[in-house]
Structure 1
Amino acid sequence: MRPINLSHGSGMLRAGALSLACALALVGCKGGNGDAQAKAPDKVEAESVPVEVAKATRRSVAASYSGTAPLEARGESQVVAKTSGVALDVLVEEGQQVRAGQVLVRLDAARASLQAAQSAAQMHKLQNEFARAQQLMAQKLISAADHDRIRYDLENARAVNRLANLEVSYANVVAPISGVVASKSIKPGNFVQINTPIFRIVDTSRLEMVLNVPERELAPLKAGLPVQLKADALPGRTFLGEVDRVAPVVDSGSGTFRVICSFNGEGVLQPGMFGRIAIAYDNRADALVIPRTALLEGEADTAVFMVKGGKSQRVPVELGYVDGEWVEVRKGVQLGDEVVVAGKNTLRDGTVVSVIGKPVASAKTATAKPASNKQ
Structure 2
Amino acid sequence: MPVEVRTIERRDMKDYLLASTTLEALREVEVYAKTSGVATSILVEEGDRVHKGDTLLIIDDREARLNLRKAEIAYREAKNALDRSKQMKARNLVSEEEFETVQLACERAKTELDEAKLAYQYTRVTAPIDGYIVDRLVELGTMVTQGKSLFRMAQFNPLRARIHIPEKDLKKVRIGQKVLLHAESEPSREFEGRVELISPAVDPASGTFKVTVRVDSSRGLLRPGMFVSCKIVVDRHEGALAVPKEAILYEGDRRYIYTVRDDTAERKDVDVGFTDDEYVEVAGDVSPGDFVVVAGQNNLASGMKVDIVRLDGKDAKADEKPRAGNEKNSDSARPHIDKTPREGKNPHMKQRVNPREHN
Aligned to 1:304: 255
Separation (CA, whole Å) in 1 of partners of 2:100 and 2:120: 31
1:115-194 equivalences in 2 (<5 Å)? 115-194=67-146
Q: Is the 8 A contact 1:304 1:340 kept in 2?
A: no
1:78 aligns with 2:42: no
3-state secondary structure, aligned to 2:225: coil
CA contact (8 A) 1:305 1:344 kept: no
| Match 1:289 to one of 242, 250, 273 | 242
RMSD: 3.8
C-alpha distance in 2 between matches for 1:119 and 1:232 = 59
**Alignment partner, residue 196 of structure 2:** 245
Residue of structure 2 in register with 1:320 after alignment: 273
Aligned residues: 302
Please state whether the residue corresponding to 2:201 is helix, strand or coil: coil
How far is the alpha carbon of 1:178 from its aligned partner? 2.5
Answer whether contact 2:3 2:308 (CA < 8 A) is retained.
Answer: no
- Structure 1 residue 230: Cα displacement: 1.8
* Contact 1:51-1:354 within 8 A present in 2 as well: no
Name whichever structure is richer in helix by fraction: 1
- Cα offset for 1:165? 0.7
Taking structure 2 as the reference length, the TM-score comes to: 0.68
Tell me the alpha carbon deviations over residues 310-354 of structure 1, each in whole angstroms, 9 at most, x when there is no partner: 8978x573x432232222235x5543789887799999xxx8896
| Distance in 2 separating the partners of 1:356 and 1:282 | 38
C-alpha contact (below 8 Å) 1:53/1:355 kept by paired residues: no
Identify the match of residue 214 of structure 2 among 255, 261, 274. Answer: 261
Letter of the 1:148 partner, please give it.
E
Contact 2:15 2:235 (8 Å CA) reproduced: yes
Name the CA shift for 1:358/1:116 in 2 (closer, same or farther; >3 Å): closer
Give the aligned residue type for 1:92: V
Larger radius of gyration: 1
Question: Which runs of 5 or more structure 2 residues have no equivalent in the other structure?
Answer: 310-359
1:196 to partner: Cα distance: 1.3
SS of the equivalent of 2:72 reads: helix
Which amino acid in 1 is paired with 2:31? V
Structure 2 residue 228 is matched with structure 1 residue 275: yes
The two structures have a TM-score, normalised by structure 1, of: 0.66
Aligned AA for 2:180? Answer: Q
**Structure with the higher fraction of residues in strand conformation:** 2
Shift, 1:358, TM fit: 6.9
C-alpha change, 1:262 and 1:140, in structure 2 (3 Å) is same
* Long gaps (5+) in structure 1: 1-48, 360-375
In structure 1, how many angstroms separate the alpha carbons of the residues matched to 2:265 and 2:50?
70
